[in-house]
Amino acid sequence: MKYALKMTATLAVALAYTTSLAYADCESDMLQLEQALNKPGLTPEAKAALDKATTVSVAAMKKDDDATCHKAIAEALAKAGIPMTP
């Protein structure tokens, strides 16, 4: 029984660690967003998506919610046709 509890705890820690690695921190994502906003030739739709992601990511950063921040920026970059760097 103790082995099963220890194994479960170890797996939980490993899962938490790998999940946190899946999301880059919000600040580095916001740097990519800033670079994307400065690209010449953005369509109005791309600019609107990036502007919306700016609003969402700032709110998420204030809440220390890296997952929401990353998701908003990744979706906006995809809509703008700009690849996100890991």
Q: How many CB atoms sit inside 10 A of residue 37's CB?
A: 16
* pTM for this model (two decimals): 0.70
Supply the pLDDT for residue 22: 46
Mean pLDDT of successive 10-residue segments in the chain (86 residues)?
45 46 74 95 95 96 93 96 90
Supply the pLDDT for residue 75: 96
Supply the pLDDT for residue 25: 87
